[in-house]
């Protein structure tokens, strides 16, 4: 069963960090991203020796976790990022731990693995990792929260 990324996530190009969902369940999701040299976040990041910034790899795991929440743990049935009003799903609350072991380069297929390790009402704690082939290049733990989208809009005013 596939996940419609645009239906489940609010993110859009150029800030969409997930190309495809490879597998998912209510506790685990695997997605893929192949960064391109033309991506905005690579253009100025070490010109001549381009690598994917660690912050973008963190965002890849966060967006992947957001897909898991929207697909399996949404407070509304059949959550649609463009039509459902009243909810912001998977807002980053905290990063507990991040380790970067190797570089990710443009053109490499990154597999993003995320596992739900704890759920407490609308708080979700995850463990994530990114692999290139057999090599784990990054791992992290983080918490996302579901909140009212009016809370986000009100803070902008």
The catalytic residue positions are: 45
Nearest to 129 by CA among 156, 153, 94, 102: 102
CA angle 34, 54, 136 (to 5 degrees): 65
CA distance 149 to 157: 13
3-state secondary structure of 65: helix
CA distance 110 to 19: 10
45 in Cβ contact with 106 (< 8 Å): no
Residue with tokens 């986000």: 152
């Amino acid at each position: 069963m596939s996940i419609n990324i645009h239906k489940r996530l609010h993110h859009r190009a150029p800030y969409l960090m997930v190309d495809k969902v490879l597998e998912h369940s209510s506790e685990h999701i695997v997605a893929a991203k192949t960064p391109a040299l033309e991506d905005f976040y690579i253009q100025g990041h070490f010109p001549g020796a381009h690598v994917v910034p660690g912050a973008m790899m963190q965002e890849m795991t966060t967006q992947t976790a957001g897909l898991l929440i929207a697909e399996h743990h949404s407070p509304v049935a059949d959550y649609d990022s463009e039509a459902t009003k009243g909810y912001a799903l998977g807002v980053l609350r905290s990063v507990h731990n991040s380790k970067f072991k190797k570089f990710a380069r443009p053109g490499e297929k990154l597999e993003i693995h995320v596992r739900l390790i704890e759920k407490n009402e609308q708080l979700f704690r995850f463990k994530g990792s990114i692999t290139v082939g057999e090599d784990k290049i990054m791992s992290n733990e983080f918490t996302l929260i579901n909140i009212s989208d009016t809370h986000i809009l009100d803070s902008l005013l």
